[in-house]
Amino acid sequence: MRILVGIDQSDRVAPVLSGACQRLSDGDSITVAVVAPTDEASMDELEMAVSDYVDANELGATVTTLSGHPGSELVELAERKGFDRLVIDGGRRSPLGKIQLAALTEFVLLNATMTVTLIR
């Protein structure tokens, strides 16, 4: 299975990538797409954080960057390259514990044509 992981937040790099890798089977391949960050990090910093994590944990994943609207670029890449699954951050919780879907999560859920996995 070919898996595309979308990353948009520097403090969620490790949880999302480790979550994605826990679900791998033999023969699966991972591509990580870095999209415009929603936090203070720059695109370069976020890509660096992703590359460092991929190297340090020997994930053997390809890392790419996507400029433009994060959700639509991610879904478009997944369709064009025939990925079987899209993995993204599942959103956060409010101070009260309410689940809050990020804009990227919402867009991907509504528009992706392949299976989507949300990492919590």
Partner 1 sequence: MTRIYPETPAGPFDPPPAVFTDAENRQIEIQTYDDGSIEPFVTMYLAFEPADRAQGIPPTNEPRIREWLEQILIDESVNVYATYDGGVIGHATLVPDGNDAYELAIFVLRAYQQSGIGTRLIYCLLGAGQARGVERVWLSVERWNAAARALYRNVGFEPTDADGFEFEMSLRLSATQ
Query: Which positions lie near partner 1, rule CB under 8 A?
Result: 93-101, 103, 106
Shortest Å distance, C-beta 69 to partner 1: 14
DSSP characters for 65-83? EE-S-HHHHHHHHHHHTT-
Q: CB 44 → partner 1: shortest distance, Å?
A: 23
**Radius of gyration of the chain from its Cα atoms, rounded to whole angstroms:** 13
b/e per residue 89-112 (b: at least 16 CB within 10 A)? bbbeeeeeeeeeebebbebbeeeb
Q: Which tokens belong to 81? A: 């390259």
> C-beta of 103: minimal distance to partner 1 in Å?
7
At CB < 8 A and 24+ separation, what contacts does 93-100 make?
A: none
Closer CB to partner 1, 83 or 107, in the complex:
107
CB of 106 to partner 1, least distance (A): 6
**C-beta of 3 vs 88, nearer to partner 1:** 88
Nearer to partner 1, 31 or 111 (CB): 111
- Cβ closest to partner 1, residue 51 vs residue 117: 117
